């Protein structure tokens, strides 16, 4: 018999509830970690959560918890233990020893997904750079297979240990990747310049909120969209025309909580599209239980990119999937996030938006797609007029 499907690796997830953190939030983080591990091809079997003042500096969770996890791992033949926070090199070593299986942390997992999804040589180079930067301080004695990449024989200097050799090889590789990226960056910058002065609009948002689906809706293109995290890694740019107003629309990599810093660094040129755009469309998945936190994370990432001050339209997507639990008016317990109706949320966010326009749509059912086009037209037009004050031939027909 031929086995067609390779066995999915069994995983367990580990998180902690630190002082000041809400148990529900941590559950949501682990939901995301679980989704990430499924996207990476693993099968999450069980979650281990511990309440702690702060992470244990030696083993992240307490000693008793580690023993409990170790027992489960050996009884259930678990392949990987995935931790929700970035582990220090020494935590990683100690946990590896105690659990006797492969250990991944959130950063590692995200890097792994990126590595699988990278299609172009540009994306691959960026991910590889981030992976080596992550790996460099974490080399352990177990990890000695790098020589192969360099051809091995004769490379090891006298008296040098394997780890030192590996470190040296990694440093050289990092330097090489950086040079390659610089070359690609220059090429891409030239490409962007050649696009002329058309108004540039960038879709930004948390991962899996529907950016690519909206790109397809607006540009009638077929950008890859699916219910997995980080479906998009490379930036796609399309020319879109609304009414008779042309502009460039770009779709790019989604953001996530604790996006590894090395990754943000090495994805700089992919994110240049965001940095150089004239208008941002911040897509939000309003059907997601923690969409408000996702908004915060996107805003923080935009700040990191120096793009927080750009004109912005907030697009609340997936209104078709939105649901809430209406509260009885005599029920005086606190109003929870699941008690807000779409009308409540619209009121709150339209008021909170300030300068920023808000639109509520479903890219799937196309509900309110016309409203989105209208708002987008207005905003692009404003920028266009500023840039070409004497050119009004484009606006003879309104949408
Ligand atoms: N119910 C519903 N699902 C939607 C809507 N828009 C997109 N989706 C689904 O959400 C999932 C993610 O959509 P994408 O367009 O790939 O999201 P993305 O933001 O590009 O995601 P990444 O590229 O992975 O960061 C897909 O399964 C879409 O079909 C919507 O309005 N309603
Ligand atoms: Mg996408």
Higher pLDDT, 279 or 137: 279
137: pLDDT strictly greater than 50: yes
- Banded pLDDT at 228 (limits 50, 70, 90): confident
- pLDDT score, position 156: 44
Digit-coded pLDDT (tens) for 347-376: 888 777 677 889 999 999 999 999 999 999
Please give the number of the atom of ligand 1 that sits closest to the Cα of 225.
16
Task: Output the pTM of the full model.
Answer: 0.84
Q: Is the pLDDT of residue 270 over 70?
A: yes
Ligand 1 site, residue 250, Cβ cutoff 6 A: no
Ligand 1 binding pocket includes 363 (Cβ within 6 Å): yes
160 contacts 182 by C-beta, under 8 angstroms:
no
Rounded to the nearest whole angstrom, what is the distance from the C-alpha of residue 162 to the centroid of ligand 2?
Answer: 41
* Whether 65 contacts 51, CB under 8 Å: no
**What is the band of 377 on the pLDDT scale with cuts at 50, 70, 90?**
very high
* Mean pLDDT value of segment 267-280: 86
Q: Give the rounded percent of residues in the chain with a pLDDT score beyond 70.
A: 89
**pLDDT at 144 (0 to 100):** 41
Q: Which of 381, 383, 386 is nearest to 244 (CA)?
A: 381
Q: In what order do the strands lie in the sheet with 279-285?
A: 236-242, 245-251, 200-205, 279-285, 312-317, 357-360
Nearest-5° Cα angle at 255, 218 to 295: 80
Per-residue pLDDT at 145 exceeds 50: no
Q: Taken in order 109, 111, 115, 119, is the CA torsion positive or negative?
A: positive
Distance 224 CA to ligand 2 centre (A): 7
Place of tokens 């220090």: 88
pLDDT at 222: 67
Q: Where are the alpha helices (DSSP H) in 13-146?
A: 23-39, 63-76, 89-99, 106-117, 121-135
Residue 277 to residue 297: CA distance in whole angstroms: 20
Q: How high is the pLDDT of residue 143?
A: 41
Lowest mean pLDDT among 41-50, 114-123, 153-162, 302-311: 153-162
Q: Which residues contact 386 (CB under 8 A, 6 or more apart)?
A: none
pLDDT tier at 6 (50, 70, 90 boundaries)? low
Check residue 391 and give its pLDDT: 64
| Cβ count within 10 A of residue 117 | 21
Which is higher by pLDDT, 396 or 221?
221
Q: Which ligand is nearest to the CA of 211?
A: 1
Decide: 318 in ligand 1 pocket, CB within 6 A. yes
82 close to 105: Cβ distance less than 8 angstroms: yes
Mutate to test the pocket of ligand 1, among 32, 40, 212 (most ligand atoms within 8 A of CB): 212
* Length of the chain, in residues: 399
Report the pLDDT value the prediction gives residue 2, as an integer from 0 to 100: 47
Max avg pLDDT among 88-97, 319-328, 382-391 = 88-97
């Amino acid at each position: 018999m031929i086995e067609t499907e390779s066995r999915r690796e069994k995983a367990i997830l580990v998180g902690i509830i630190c002082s000041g953190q809400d148990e529900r939030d941590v559950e949501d983080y682990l939901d995301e970690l679980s989704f990430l591990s499924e996207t990476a091809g693993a099968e999450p079997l069980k979650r281990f959560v511990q309440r702690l003042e702060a992470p244990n500096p030696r083993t992240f969770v307490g000693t008793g918890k580690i023993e409990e996890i170790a027992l489960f791992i050996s009884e259930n033949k678990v392949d990987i233990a995935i931790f929700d926070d970035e582990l220090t090199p020494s935590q990683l070593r100690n946990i590896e020893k105690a659990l006797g299986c492969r250990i991944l942390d959130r950063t590692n997992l995200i890097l792994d997904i990126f590595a699988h999804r990278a299609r172009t040589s540009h994306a691959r180079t960026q991910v590889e750079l981030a992976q080596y930067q992550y790996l460099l301080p974490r080399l352990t004695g177990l990890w000695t297979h790098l020589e192969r990449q360099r051809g091995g024989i004769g490379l090891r200097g006298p008296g040098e240990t394997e780890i030192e050799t590996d470190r040296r090889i990694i440093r050289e590789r990092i330097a090489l990747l950086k040079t390659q990226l610089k070359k690609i960056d220059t090429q891409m910058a030239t490409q962007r310049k050649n696009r002329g002065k058309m108004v540039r609009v960038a879709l930004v948002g948390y991962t899996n909120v529907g950016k690519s689906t909206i790109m397809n809706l607006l540009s009638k293109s077929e950008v890859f969209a699916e219910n997995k995290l980080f479906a998009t890694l490379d930036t796609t740019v399309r020319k879109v025309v609304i009414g008779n107003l042309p502009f460039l629309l770009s779709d790019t990599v989604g953001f996530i909580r604790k996006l590894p810093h090395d990754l943000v660094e090495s994805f700089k040129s992919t994110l240049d599209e965001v940095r150089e755009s004239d208008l941002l469309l911040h897509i939000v998945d309003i059907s997601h239980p923690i969409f408000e936190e996702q908004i915060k994370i996107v805003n923080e990432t935009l700040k990191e990119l120096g793009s927080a001050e750009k004109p912005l339209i907030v697009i609340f997507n997936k209104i078709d999937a939105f649901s809430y639990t209406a509260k009885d008016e005599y029920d005086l317990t606190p109003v929870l996030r699941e008690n807000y109706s779409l009308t409540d949320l619209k009121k709150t966010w339209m008021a909170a938006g300030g300068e920023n326009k808000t639109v509520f749509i479903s890219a799937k059912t196309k509900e309110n797609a016309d409203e989105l086009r209208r708002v987008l037209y207005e905003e692009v037009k404003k920028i266009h007029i500023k840039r070409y004050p004497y050119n009004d031939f484009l606006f003879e027909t309104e949408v």
